[in-house]
Structure 1
Amino acid sequence: MKFAELLEIVADEPVFETGFLRSGRAPEPGLEAQLSRWCAAGKLLRLRRGLFALAPPYRKVKPHPFLVANRLSPGSYVSGLSALAFANAIPEYVPEVTSCGPARPHVRETPLGRFSFRYVKPALRTGYRLVGLVDGQSAFVARPEKAFLDLAHLQPGGDAPAWIDELRLDFEELSPAHLRAAAAATGSPKLARAAAHVIRRASDPASAYEPLPVP
């Protein structure tokens, strides 16, 4: 395969897998070696084994980090601080993309950024949806209420009022009803306490981030 042919096949795909190049084509035994040579030449970016992106200036579309995260770990969804920042529910910029899903906990350093993945059991893999991103891209992202609960679930002491207050949540971006229902659906007393604290804060914005008694 020539590089011009690869560009024609990939077209405006932000990321692509080796199988995508083979689809509907005769077998090419040397394809993996050719892809490695293009990576070494700076024409391709290897994100993980079998997953690539075109390097600038060859790419037509810049891959969105959330799309990359989904493709790095199939079955995962963006959550935690990343999803909260995306929803404008916290004020800080979050450079690392955090996802939850079926994969073991791990971190991937790629040419397109740093991505961390946390395991959550099947019963907790809910509360996310497919959202539109830039340039026609889309990714599975947790709703802000679920992103908070995932964060609290994975954080030791994630139901502690002081830790929750440090997040400086924007309560206008969180639905108390959705948060209460999502926490109840998990059956976790810890998450019920975390949700209850956020709901109390949201009901009294004037006193936000001042200590409240814990029941």
Structure 2
Amino acid sequence: MKWHELLQMVVDEPVFRTGFLAASGESLPALRLQLSRWVKAGKLIQPARGLYTLAEPYRKVCPHPFVLANAMKKGSYVSLQSALAHYAMIPEHVPTVTSVTTQRPQWIETPLGAFAFRRIKKGWFGGCRQVDLGNRQQAFVATPDKALLDLVYLTARSDDPGFLAELRLQNPDRLDLDALARLAEASQSPKLRRAAARIAGWVTEETGAEP
């Protein structure tokens, strides 16, 4: 495969996999060898095995970090502080994209940023939706309610009264208290039930809504 042929195939793709290029008719070993050469030449970036994105100035679409996170580990979704920051529910900038998965936990440093994958049990996996990120890019991201409870689930002593204060939560109207209560009840976790009750109390206090 020639470089101009690759550009024609992937110039509009934020990320692509080796298998995507198999339609060209070249053997996979030959493709992998050529892709490796382009990575070494600085024309491609390889954030994970078998996953690539065009380097500047060749790229037409800059891959969103959430899209990269989804692609780097199948069966994952962006959650915790990364999702809460996306929904403007916490004030801090979150440099590491954190996702949850039922697979092994992993930390990956790439030229495009740092990515953390936290492990949760299969019964707690879910509560995400496909979010439009602009530039025709979409990624699976936890709902605000699930992102907050995922954070509680994975953080020690997060059901303490001071935990919410430390988070400095904002925009309480973005939480669905009914969904929050259902998630906490379905978890069968006393810790998550306590946390959900405190979160509901905070939302009621902040918004003046009926408890």
Normalising by structure 2, what TM-score? 0.94
Residue number in structure 2 paired with 1:165: 165
Contact in 1 for aligned 2:177/2:200 (Cα 8 Å): yes
Aligned-pair CA distance for 1:177: 1.6
State the identity as a percent.
50
Q: Which runs of 5+ in 1 are unaligned?
A: 207-215
For 1:106-185, list aligned pairs within 5 A. Answer: 106-170=106-170, 171-185=172-186
CA distance in 1, matches of 2:152, 2:46: 33
Contact in 2 for aligned 1:17/1:51 (Cα 8 Å): yes
**RMSD, aligned CA:** 1.5
Distance 1:4 1:166, change over 3 A: same
Aligned-pair CA distance for 1:205: 2.5
For 1:52-71, list aligned pairs within 5 A. Answer: 52-71=52-71
Letter in 2 for 1:131: V
Distance 1:78 1:28, change over 3 A: closer
Letter in 2 for 1:154: L
Which 4+ stretches in 1 moved above 3 angstroms?
none
Q: Which runs of 5+ in 2 are unaligned?
A: none
Contact in 2 for aligned 1:88/1:173 (Cα 8 Å): no
Alpha-carbon displacement from aligned partner over 1:46-67 (angstroms, at most 9, x marks no partner): 1111101000110110000000
CA distance in 1, matches of 2:78, 2:187: 18
Letter in 2 for 1:38: W
CA distance in 2, matches of 1:128, 1:6: 33
CA distance in 1, matches of 2:9, 2:78: 28
Does residue 199 of the first structure (1) align with residue 200 of the second (2)?
yes
